[in-house]
């Protein structure tokens, strides 16, 4: 029997739809129609708000990685593994990186929205990015 996965529904349908409506349709149109920004500046500058709205993910990531490290420390009976696993310094670096790539994605999504004149390609792109996620560089960082 099929079990609905509400997290997948949120990540693949609701978040892309609502975020693209808010950050592309509402913000871009509001700033352009009011004359506050032209289309080009809107597409480049407004994704910063979109990027900031995604910074909460670093806390989820830190909590998840700390939990994994704590479990690993119990197995290895070595609390130094836990103490070093996800420092706040690393969390800040991850946050800045997330801010940068989310800003770039927001610019691309805004470009798609403005050039197609339709919300749906931007929503589809957003859903695709949420589905695949960002590649993990954990192995590179541990070397």
Query: pLDDT tens-digit profile of 21-49?
Result: 999 999 999 999 999 999 999 999 999 99
48 CB burial (10 A radius; 0-12, 13-18, 19+): middle
Can you give the pLDDT at residue 24? 94
Q: What is the DSSP string of 93-109?
A: HHHHHHHHHHHHHHHHH
**Which band of pLDDT confidence, cut at 50, 70 and 90, is reported for residue 116?**
very high
Query: pLDDT tens-digit profile of 74-115?
Result: 666 655 555 556 677 777 787 888 889 899 999 999 999 999
Whole-angstrom Cα distance, residue 139 to residue 86?
14
Per-residue 3-state assignment (H helix, E strand, C coil) for 63-78: HHHHHHHHHHHHHHCC
Can you give the pLDDT at residue 65? 74
Mean pLDDT taken over the chain = 83
Confidence (pTM): 0.74
Can you give the pLDDT at residue 138? 60
Distances (CA, A) of 47 to 25, 58, 92: 12, 18, 20
Whole-angstrom Cα distance, residue 116 to residue 110?
10
Residue with structure tokens 């670096």?
A: 93
């Amino acid at each position: 029997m099929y079990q609905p996965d509400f997290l997948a529904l949120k990540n693949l349908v609701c978040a892309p739809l609502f975020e693209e409506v808010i950050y592309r349709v509402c913000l871009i149109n509001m700033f352009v129609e009011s004359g506050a920004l032209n289309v080009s500046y809107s597409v480049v500058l407004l994704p910063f708000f979109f990027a900031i709205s995604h910074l909460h993910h670093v806390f989820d990531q830190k909590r998840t990685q700390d939990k994994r490290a704590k479990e690993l420390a119990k197995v290895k009976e070595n609390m130094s593994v836990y103490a070093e696993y996800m420092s706040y310094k690393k969390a800040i670096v991850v946050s800045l990186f997330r801010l940068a790539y989310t800003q770039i994605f927001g610019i691309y999504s805004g470009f798609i929205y403005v050039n197609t004149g339709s919300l749906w390609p931007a929503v589809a792109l957003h859903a695709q990015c949420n589905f695949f996620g960002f590649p993990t560089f954990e192995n590179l960082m541990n070397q």
